[in-house]
Amino acid sequence: MSNLFEYPEAREASSAAKVRALEALLIEKGVIGSDSVDTVLEHFETMAGPFNGAKIVAHAWVDPEYKQRLVEDTPKAIAELSLPLGMAGAEGEHMAAVANDADVHNLIICTLCSCYPWPVLGLPPYWYKDPVFRARGVREPRAVLQEFGVTVPASKQVKVWDSSAQIRWFVIPERPANTEHLSEDELAALVTPESMMGVALVAPPAA
């Protein structure tokens, strides 16, 4: 995508600089304290983030019955695992999982704003909020995926799921080949937030 996804490192660095400047201004004006910022950061480092989603996906890969339960009743299935995330709250409740397979590739967007399942994916990336991505994701999902480096064959259906305040989707990506020897923790290390959004595939482990 020529403008939206070009030079992501520069865009991320610019966004990080703006966040730091805003944080400093809010602390200076007394709107928030540095301890409040530390509390929020600690929450996303230890409680809510893509490490949770990766553990869920890895368990679904090794346990087909669990995977089925995860798709049928996502909150109930997540509650079976010993994870540090809380399911309550606007960003974590009403989560639902969809599974990629040989016939279907799933893509997650939010056409209204940037609704996102923070407890399992962490904070949304800058491009997820961009109106261009949200619009094109609906109109031409195959082209968008191609620009992310994901080529979906014509024989495979692409389904687009629109997150909202009522339901927040995430993807169970396909398990990469030749990973039968890996432990659940090793499988979880392969899973990325992008793969759980549907804009990336899970790469096999390096030789």
Q: CA nearest 157: which of 119, 201, 123, 107? A: 107
Say whether 113 is catalytic. yes
d(Cα 64, Cα 52) in Å, to the nearest integer? 19
Choice among 114, 155, 164, 195 that is catalytic:
114
According to the model, what pLDDT value does residue 122 have? 86
How high is the pLDDT of residue 7? Answer: 41
First CA to last CA across the chain, in angstroms?
31
Q: What is the pTM of this model?
A: 0.79
Q: Which of 14, 15, 36, 113 is catalytic?
A: 113
pLDDT in tens, the chain (207 residues): 444 455 445 445 544 554 455 555 555 556 555 554 444 444 454 455 799 999 999 999 999 999 999 999 999 999 899 776 544 444 566 899 999 999 999 999 999 888 889 889 988 898 999 999 999 999 999 999 999 999 999 999 999 999 998 899 999 999 999 999 999 999 999 999 999 999 999 999 986
Distance CA 180, CA 62 (A): 9
Compute CA distances 159 → 59, 60, 115, 133, 183, whole Å.
Answer: 23, 20, 18, 16, 30
Q: Does residue 160 contact residue 138 with C-beta atoms inside 8 Å? A: yes
**Feature table: binding site for Fe(3+):** 110, 113-115
Residue for token digits 């959004």? 197
Binding residues, by number, are 110, 113-115
Q: For residue 15, give the amino acid letter.
A: S
Say whether 34 is catalytic.
no
Catalytic annotation present for 114: yes
Candidates 115, 163, 164, 183; catalytic one:
115
85-118 burial, b at 16+ Cβ within 10 Å, e below that, comes to: beeeeebbbbbbbbbbeeeebbbbbbeeeebbbb
Strand (E) or helix (H) holding 74: helix 74-79
**Annotated catalytic residue 82:** no
